[in-house]
């Protein structure tokens, strides 16, 4: 008999009908003999709706109160599923994060899980109950409700699996696994049988929101066997694994990630003296703005140009800080662009293969897509391009790295 943690996402519990379907599925698993802990998201759209309500009251959202509001979405689905199970004769009980005691730090809206009390859950499992836990939420040491950041139910699932030393954490969603790229954008995308934690972490960090980044970090750290599956279609899904050997035999590139969340800022004609980067980025970081990619041009005329990207939400703030810096250090001008996108190729196979980046650049050149910025690490290459070319770029790269699914026979 195994202990499995199963997390169902927003669309999978998006209506009463879907919740009944999940209950049927859980019932079947339970009858097969496994101990089950179920983690749920709010109904799809509900968290956004709750945030909008708060925004109608004030544009100065109070993080603590926002957590009190948004945590209600998951409280509804856990009780509905639990009743649907009991109706089917499956003993079950629901718990909020506070009731389990999923202890987090006090960083409202983006809290980190510190500790999980497993006593109650273990006692219920022993009594033969299915335990249904609200995802996305916890409680800090002072008893304040906290939430874990958007998509945080994945992290609740993985953290519970780690705390309970579960045999597997299964993430049920509206796709049947992790694909070579977002299947909504590239219909030729292929499901991966396996992907390493390291690759999945890069994919998630670079924009593939199929799993929350922290859930992958957690799974890697505590070595939780993690699988992404379709909620209502049978299939093996995708296993996220530490086993790099077998993945090495797969293509050099495992996947392509992209995001439209960034914006680019440039400061031109900066007097080129030691400490330029610090003078420019110091005030940005002092304003709590995170910088992603950075390019400094070779100086000529004793001045240099400096470009970096930030999250699009922080563009206006960063622009104001940079204009201020430009005045102070005597730079010529500040400009910016919010219509950019970042496309990244990811794969552990890159470590043992040369020429991967140039193959990427060649594929983009063939489509006449201009590369504005580049950054690389051991297992990824990212480029910034004009946003309007994003889908074309992802498709071109998908084909260039031979990731396309074999064409279907016409019927
Ligand atoms: P849930 O509500 O179940 O948590 P999400 O919307 O958070 O579901 O995640 C599933 C979505 O992630 C899919 O519908 C898909 O469009 C998107 N996605 C992005 N990149 C990928 C990828 N590489 N593989 C699979 N799905 C991806
Ligand atoms: N309901 C939360 C959100 O929409 C958490 C989750 O679904 O994982 O972000
Ligand atoms: Mg999600």
pLDDT per position as a tens digit, 288-306: 999 999 998 877 788 999 9
pLDDT at 409: 46
b/e burial code for range 320-357 (CB count within 10 A of at least 16 → b): ebbbebbeeeebeebebbeebbbbbbbbbbbeeeeebe
| pLDDT tops 90 at residue 349 | no
pLDDT of residue 352 exceeding 50, the answer is yes
Q: Burial of 165 by CB count in 10 Å (0-12 exposed, 13-18 middle, 19+ buried)?
A: exposed
- Residue pair 44/11 in contact by the 8 Å Cβ criterion: yes
| pLDDT tens-digit readout, 52-108 | 999 999 999 999 999 999 999 999 999 999 999 999 999 999 999 999 999 999 999
Split at pLDDT 50, 70, 90, the class of 312 is: very high
Q: How far apart are CA 207 and CA 197, in angstroms?
A: 15
- For the CA of 171, the closest atom of ligand 1 is 3
> Predicted confidence band at 410 (pLDDT cuts at 50, 70, 90)?
very low
Dist. CA 127 → ligand 1 center (Å) = 35
pLDDT of 407 reads 66
Q: How far is the CA of 181 from the centre of ligand 2 (A)?
A: 21
User: Averaged over 217-221, what is the pLDDT?
Assistant: 93
d(Cα 71, Cα 135) in Å, to the nearest integer? 9
Distance in angstroms (rounded) separating the CA atoms of residues 230 and 220: 22
> What's the pTM value of the predicted model, to 2 decimals?
0.92
Residue 132 has pLDDT above 80, yes or no: yes
Percent of the chain with pLDDT over 90: 89
How far does Cα 68 stand from its chain's mean position?
A: 23
pLDDT at 397 over 80: yes
**Token representation of residue 96:** 């909020």
Residue 250: its pLDDT value, please? Answer: 60
Predicted local distance difference test score (pLDDT) of residue 1 = 85
| Predicted pLDDT of residue 247 | 47
For strands 102-104 and 113-116, give the pairing: antiparallel
Q: What is the rounded average pLDDT of the residues 203-229?
A: 95
Residue positions counted in the chain: 411
- Using CA atoms, how far apart are residues 79 and 92, in angstroms rounded to an integer? 10
- How large is the average pLDDT for residues 41-53? 98
Best probe residue, ligand 2, of 49, 71, 151 (max atoms within 8 Å of C-beta): 151
Ligand nearest to the CA of 231: 1
The yes-or-no verdict on residue 165 having pLDDT over 90 is yes
- Asked whether 184 lines ligand 1 (CB < 6 A), one says yes
Q: Which residues line ligand 2 (CB under 6 A)?
A: 9-10, 41-42, 47, 73, 135-136, 150-154
> Measuring CA to CA, which residue among 307, 155, 170 is closest to residue 230?
170
Average pLDDT for 239-245: 79
pLDDT at 301: 84
Residue 113 β-bridge partners = 104
Radius of gyration of the chain (CA): 23
Residue nearest to atom 8 of ligand 2 (CA): 151
Q: What is the pLDDT of residue 252?
A: 86
Mean pLDDT of the chain: 94
The two tokens of residue 316 are: 């206006």
Q: Is 174 in the pocket of ligand 1 (CB under 6 A)?
A: yes
Burial (Cβ within 10 Å: 0-12, 13-18, ≥19) of residue 404: middle
Whether residue 40 is predicted with pLDDT greater than 80 in this model: the reply is yes
Residue 245 pLDDT level (bands cut at 50, 70, 90): low
- Residue 5 CA: distances (Å) to CA of 117, 164, 361: 15, 9, 42
Residue 411: pLDDT over 60? no
Percentage of the chain with pLDDT > 70? 97
Would you say residue 246 has pLDDT above 60?
no
Report which protein residue has its CA nearest ligand 2's atom 6. Answer: 151
Which carries the bigger pLDDT value, residue 266 or residue 353? 266
pLDDT band at 248 (very low <50, low <70, confident <90, very high): very low
pLDDT score recorded for residue 139: 98
CA of 157 to the centre of ligand 3 (A): 11
CA distance 6 to 4: 6
Q: What is the mean pLDDT of residues 256-281?
A: 94
């Amino acid at each position: 008999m195994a202990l499995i943690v199963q997390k169902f996402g927003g669309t999978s519990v998006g209506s009463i009908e879907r919740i009944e379907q999940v209950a049927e599925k859980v019932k079947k698993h339970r009858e097969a003999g496994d101990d089950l802990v179920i983690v749920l998201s709010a109904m799809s759209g509900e968290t956004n709706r709750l945030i909008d309500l708060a925004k109608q009251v004030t544009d100065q959202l109070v993080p603590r109160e926002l957590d009190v509001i948004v945590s209600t979405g998951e409280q509804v689905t856990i009780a509905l599923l639990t009743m649907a199970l009991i109706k089917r004769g499956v003993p079950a009980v629901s718990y909020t994060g506070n009731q389990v005691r999923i202890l987090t730090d006090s960083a409202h809206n983006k809290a980190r899980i510190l500790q999980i009390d497993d006593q109650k859950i273990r006692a219920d499992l022993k009594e033969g109950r299915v335990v249904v836990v609200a995802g996305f939420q916890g409680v800090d040491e002072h008893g304040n409700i906290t939430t874990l950041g958007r998509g945080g139910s994945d992290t609740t699932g993985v953290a519970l699996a780690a705390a309970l030393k579960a045999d597997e954490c299964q993430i049920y969603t509206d796709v049947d696994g992790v694909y070579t790229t977002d299947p909504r954008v590239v219909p030729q995308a292929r499901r991966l049988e396996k992907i390493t934690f390291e690759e999945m972490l890069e994919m998630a960090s670079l924009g593939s929101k199929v799993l929350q980044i922290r859930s992958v970090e957690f799974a890697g750290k505590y070595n939780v066997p993690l699988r992404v599956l379709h909620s209502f279609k049978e299939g093996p899904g995708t296993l996220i694994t530490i086993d790099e050997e077998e993945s090495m035999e797969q293509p050099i590139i495992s996947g392509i990630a992209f995001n439209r969340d960034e914006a680019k800022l440039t400061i031109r004609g900066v007097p080129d003296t030691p400490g330029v980067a610090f003078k420019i980025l110091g005030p940005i970081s002092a304003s709590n703005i995170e910088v992603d990619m950075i390019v400094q041009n070779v100086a000529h005329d004793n001045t240099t140009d400096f470009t970096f990207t930030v999250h699009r939400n922080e563009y206006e703030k960063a622009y104001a800080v940079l204009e201020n810096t430009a005045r102070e250090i005597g730079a010529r001008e500040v400009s910016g662009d919010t219509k950019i996108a970042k496309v990244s190729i990811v794969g552990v196979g890159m470590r043992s293969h040369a020429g991967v980046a140039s193959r990427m650049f060649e594929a983009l050149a063939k489509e006449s897509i201009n590369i504005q910025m580049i950054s690389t690490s051991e297992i990824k290459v990212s480029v910034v391009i004009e946003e309007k070319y994003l889908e074309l770029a992802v498709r071109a790269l998908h084909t260039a790295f031979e990731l396309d699914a074999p064409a279907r026979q016409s019927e």
